[in-house]
Amino acid sequence: MIVLNGEPREHGAGVAVVELLRGLGLPEQGRGVAVAIDGEVVPRASWGTHAIPDGARVEVLTAMQGG
Amino acid sequence: MASTHTEADLLSIAGRELRSRLLLGTGGFPSLELLAAAIAASGTELVTVALRRVDPGARGSLIDTIDAAGVELLPNTAGCFTARDAVLTAKLAREAFQTDWVKLEVIGDEDTLLPDAPELLKAAEQLVDDGFVVLPYTTDDPVLARRLADIGCAAVMPLGAPIGSGMGIRNPYNIALIREAVSVPVVLDAGIGTASDATLAMELGCDAVMVASAVSRAQDPVAMAAAMRAAVQAGLLARGAGRIARKTYATPSTPMAGIAELS
């Protein structure tokens, strides 16, 4: 189980970040996308290898309109 | 002032030269089409964006709109209430947008959205140390502005009035003092309600003006974007021209010499 953007999800633990993004329909090279796991930035370079731990709080962020 | 203006009268922030002295926030526009039209009308070269959770149902891409407009994107840390959150948000923005630039906001109060000075300084220091080009949203306090400049911020962005208030520049004396207090560019941020506020900011010596709600929530955002563009240019010209002194009594603009005796 993981918590993705505040919502609990059964699946996602153990998979690489890039797999999760693919599942969300986000471009893998994802310009404009950033990922944090448990309050730490996951650098783009390690998206392919960084496995999401069980119980992780995952934040997937992108550009939104703002002042 | 002169140190932040190049010979061709470009605005230079951290080595990047900008022809436009208007920064535009992307918040509050009812559609991306209207945002694109306002960007074009404003002449801006730098627009701010926020970082938020992805919305699978979102229609259209803000990034694509900004890219198509041919302008640079400046991520902000809007919504952060602590230095820690602001620093993490800046780092996430750097990952997302491949830019070291950040408009640093650390808010201390939910009702006024006024900056939290100690947290702002702490965050600015950490981000400067980490190689960021930091543009902090700050109060109209000249001492705080100087502290931010001293720790290496690339510009300071003092408020004219609370964000979205449209109250204009409540303390023009402090804005002028900030201009004297720092050698980095001063970008008036927040509080602008209409074009004359932007002109006043430039007349007070600001190097640029940032507007968001004043344009995006105007009845005709595209027309207001054009107005802001002209207003900033007018203020810059007037500042350079040097205004006359204020006096209590009249000084005739027509000479009395040679006047006819008619009675």
User: CA angle, B129 as apex, A49 and A57 as ends, to 5°?
Assistant: 35
Minimal Cα–Cα distance from B180 to chain A, Å? 26
> Which residue is closest to A23 within chain B, CA to CA?
B56
Taking all residues of chain B, what is their mean pLDDT, rounded to a whole number? Answer: 94
Core vs surface per residue B189-228: b (16+ CB within 10 A) or e: bbbbbbbbbbbbbbbbbbbbbbbbbbbbebeebbebbbbb
Rounded to 5 degrees, φ, ψ at B200 are -60, -40
The answer to whether B65 and B35 have CB atoms below 8 angstroms apart is yes
What residue type is assigned to position B254 of the chain?
Answer: T
ipTM of this model?
Answer: 0.91
B98 touches chain A (CB under 8 A): yes
Q: What average pLDDT score do residues A18-39 get?
A: 84
In chain A, % of residues over pLDDT 90: 52
> pLDDT tens for residues B38-67?
999 999 999 999 999 988 777 678 998 999
pLDDT of residue B58: 72
Whole-prediction pTM = 0.90
Q: Is B103 a catalytic residue?
A: yes
> Which residue is closest to B27 within chain A, CA to CA?
A66
pLDDT at B6 over 50: no
Contact check, Cβ <8 Å, B97/A63: yes
pLDDT of residue B7: 45
Q: How far apart are CA B228 and CA B216, in angstroms?
A: 12
Contact check, Cβ <8 Å, A65/B93: no
- Which chain A residues are closer than 8 Å to B62 by Cβ? 32, 63-65
Contact check, Cβ <8 Å, A67/B73: no
> pLDDT tens for residues B198-213?
999 999 999 999 999 9
Which of B58, B96, B51 is closest to B76 using CA atoms?
A: B51
B25 touches chain A (CB under 8 A): yes
pLDDT of residue A28: 62
- Which chain A residues are closer than 8 Å to B52 by Cβ? 61-62, 64, 66
pLDDT of residue B189: 95
pLDDT of residue B8: 54
The answer to whether A35 and A17 have CB atoms below 8 angstroms apart is yes
pLDDT at B114 over 50: yes
Q: What average pLDDT score do residues B16-27 get?
A: 95
The pLDDT-based confidence of B26 (bands split at 50, 70, 90) is very high
- Which chain B residues are closer than 8 Å to A43 by Cβ? 95
User: CA angle, B186 as apex, B110 and B117 as ends, to 5°?
Assistant: 35
Which of A9, A7, A13, A16 is closest to A50 using CA atoms?
A: A16
